[in-house]
Copies of this chain bind each other. A is one copy, B any other.
Amino acid sequence: MTDTIKRLRIYTDEAAYFGDQKVFEVVALRARAAHVAGTTVFRALFGFGHTAHEHRRHVLDDDQSIVVEILDEESKLRAFVDSLSDLEHLGPVMLEAIEVLHWPSSDRGRG
């Protein structure tokens, strides 16, 4: 394994749908199907400005932002992002450098 572990962050909001599924659930299900090393989904208190999808109802209550964090090797993360190209209503997607100090041992493998 010469690949570097990075963190992928995908912003969306809870009210964004792809067909009849929430976008963040589609992303998480695909991440699971792709056997990425780890996925964590955060719900923000609020957010605005990220997606064309947003509704401007209130000054500070526009949408329920969701951030999906995925940890894996960089090449796998880039391939995963490619697999999301059919999704609308995705907010910014970014890759972040990290230095891994500890990685849990697992008998599930990671490949």
Chain A residues in contact with chain B, CB under 8 A? 7-9, 11, 25, 28-29, 32, 36-52, 59-60, 65-67, 71, 78, 81, 90-108
Contacts and interface: CB of A to CB of B under 8 A. Distances in A.
Nearest to A13: B40
Number of copies: 3
Residue among A43, A45, A66, A91 facing the most chain B CB atoms (10 A cut-off): A45
Contacts of A95: 98-99, 101
Contact of A25 (B39, B60, B65, B106): B60
A41 B46 contact: yes
B97 A93 contact: no
Contact of A38 (B29, B59, B92, B100): B92
Given A32-B48, A38-B48, A40-B11, A90 B102 contact: yes
Contacts of A48: 32, 38-39
B91 A29 contact: no
A90 B98 CA distance: 17
A29 B52 CA distance: 19
